[in-house]
Amino acid sequence: MTKKRKQLYLKWAIYFAALIIYITGVSIQPVWDRIDPWFGMPFSVFNIILIQILICLGLCLMYSMDRRLAKVEKEQRERGESNVY
Protein backbone atom coordinates (compact mmCIF):
# COMPACT_ATOMS: atom_id res chain seq x y z
CA MET A 1 0.00 0.00 0.00
CA THR A 2 1.45 3.36 -0.99
CA LYS A 3 1.84 6.21 1.47
CA LYS A 4 -0.77 8.23 -0.42
CA ARG A 5 -3.28 5.39 -0.25
CA LYS A 6 -2.63 5.02 3.48
CA GLN A 7 -3.38 8.72 3.93
CA LEU A 8 -6.54 8.40 1.85
CA TYR A 9 -7.76 5.43 3.90
CA LEU A 10 -6.96 7.18 7.14
CA LYS A 11 -9.13 10.16 6.17
CA TRP A 12 -12.02 7.90 5.26
CA ALA A 13 -11.54 5.77 8.36
CA ILE A 14 -11.99 8.95 10.43
CA TYR A 15 -15.13 9.85 8.44
CA PHE A 16 -16.67 6.41 8.96
CA ALA A 17 -15.63 6.27 12.62
CA ALA A 18 -17.43 9.60 13.17
CA LEU A 19 -20.46 8.24 11.37
CA ILE A 20 -20.50 5.08 13.47
CA ILE A 21 -20.34 7.15 16.65
CA TYR A 22 -23.28 9.20 15.30
CA ILE A 23 -25.19 6.02 14.40
CA THR A 24 -24.85 4.53 17.82
CA GLY A 25 -26.35 7.73 19.10
CA VAL A 26 -24.04 7.95 22.07
CA SER A 27 -23.89 11.72 22.00
CA ILE A 28 -27.21 12.69 20.41
CA GLN A 29 -29.80 10.41 21.97
CA PRO A 30 -32.76 12.83 21.69
CA VAL A 31 -32.59 12.50 17.89
CA TRP A 32 -34.15 9.08 18.17
CA ASP A 33 -37.20 10.40 20.04
CA ARG A 34 -38.20 12.93 17.39
CA ILE A 35 -41.12 11.79 15.28
CA ASP A 36 -42.04 15.13 13.70
CA PRO A 37 -42.41 14.75 9.92
CA TRP A 38 -39.43 15.26 7.63
CA PHE A 39 -39.92 14.64 3.91
CA GLY A 40 -43.04 12.56 4.59
CA MET A 41 -41.50 10.41 7.28
CA PRO A 42 -40.79 10.76 11.00
CA PHE A 43 -37.45 12.42 11.75
CA SER A 44 -36.17 9.24 13.42
CA VAL A 45 -36.73 7.28 10.20
CA PHE A 46 -35.36 10.13 8.09
CA ASN A 47 -32.27 10.09 10.30
CA ILE A 48 -31.71 6.39 9.65
CA ILE A 49 -32.11 6.93 5.89
CA LEU A 50 -29.70 9.88 6.04
CA ILE A 51 -27.09 7.77 7.82
CA GLN A 52 -27.41 5.07 5.20
CA ILE A 53 -27.05 7.59 2.38
CA LEU A 54 -23.96 9.07 4.04
CA ILE A 55 -22.37 5.62 4.27
CA CYS A 56 -23.27 4.78 0.66
CA LEU A 57 -21.94 8.09 -0.67
CA GLY A 58 -18.82 7.80 1.48
CA LEU A 59 -18.11 4.35 0.05
CA CYS A 60 -18.68 5.47 -3.55
CA LEU A 61 -16.57 8.58 -3.16
CA MET A 62 -13.80 6.61 -1.48
CA TYR A 63 -13.82 4.14 -4.37
CA SER A 64 -13.63 6.97 -6.94
CA MET A 65 -10.65 8.56 -5.17
CA ASP A 66 -9.06 5.15 -4.81
CA ARG A 67 -9.34 4.52 -8.56
CA ARG A 68 -7.91 7.92 -9.40
CA LEU A 69 -4.96 7.16 -7.16
CA ALA A 70 -4.50 3.74 -8.77
CA LYS A 71 -4.37 5.44 -12.18
CA VAL A 72 -1.71 7.90 -11.01
CA GLU A 73 0.33 5.05 -9.53
CA LYS A 74 0.10 3.10 -12.77
CA GLU A 75 1.30 6.10 -14.78
CA GLN A 76 4.20 6.56 -12.39
CA ARG A 77 5.15 2.90 -12.78
CA GLU A 78 4.98 3.19 -16.57
CA ARG A 79 7.31 6.19 -16.41
CA GLY A 80 9.72 3.99 -14.49
CA GLU A 81 9.33 5.65 -11.15
CA SER A 82 9.83 2.42 -9.26
CA ASN A 83 9.72 3.94 -5.78
CA VAL A 84 5.94 4.25 -5.83
CA TYR A 85 5.71 1.69 -3.04
Partner 1 sequence: MSTNVPLVIGIIVAFFVINGIIIRRFHISQDSVEQYAVGGRNLGWILVCFSYIGAWYAGAIYTGWVANAVDMGIFVLYLGIYSIGGMITMYFMATNVWIWGKVYRLTTITDFIRLRYQNRVYSKFFSGVVVCVNFFWLCLEMITIGYCVQVATNSVIDFRLGTVIASAFVIIYSYLGGARATAIGNLVQGLAFGVVGTIVFFVLIYKTYGGPTPLFEMVRDNMPEHLSVSGYEGLWMSSVLTGIFGAYCWPQIFNRMFMTKIPSDSKKAVFVAPFIVVLVTCGLLWIGLGGNLLPGFPADHQQGVFWIANQYGGPVVLALIAIFALSASMSTISAISHAIGVMVGADFISRKDTDPIRKVKNQQYATLAVGIIAILISTLNFPNLNNVALALYEFIIQAFVPLFMGILWKRGNIYGAFTGMIAGVCVALVGFFAGSAPFTWAGGFSAGCVGLFVNFVIYVVFALAKGPQAHVKGMWDSLRLYSEDGDYLGDGTEDKQEIAKYSM
Binding residues vs partner 1 (CB under 8 A): 1, 9, 13, 16, 20, 23-26, 29, 32-35, 37, 40-42, 44-45, 48-49, 51-53, 55-56, 58-60, 62-63, 66-67, 70, 73-74, 77, 85
Q: Residue 81 Cβ, how far from partner 1 at the closest point, in Å?
A: 12
Q: Are 63 and 2 in contact (CB under 8 A)?
A: no
β-bridge mates for residue 38, sequence order: 41
- Minimal distance in Å, beta carbon 28 to partner 1? 11
15 burial (CB, 10 Å; 0-12 / 13-18 / 19+) is: middle
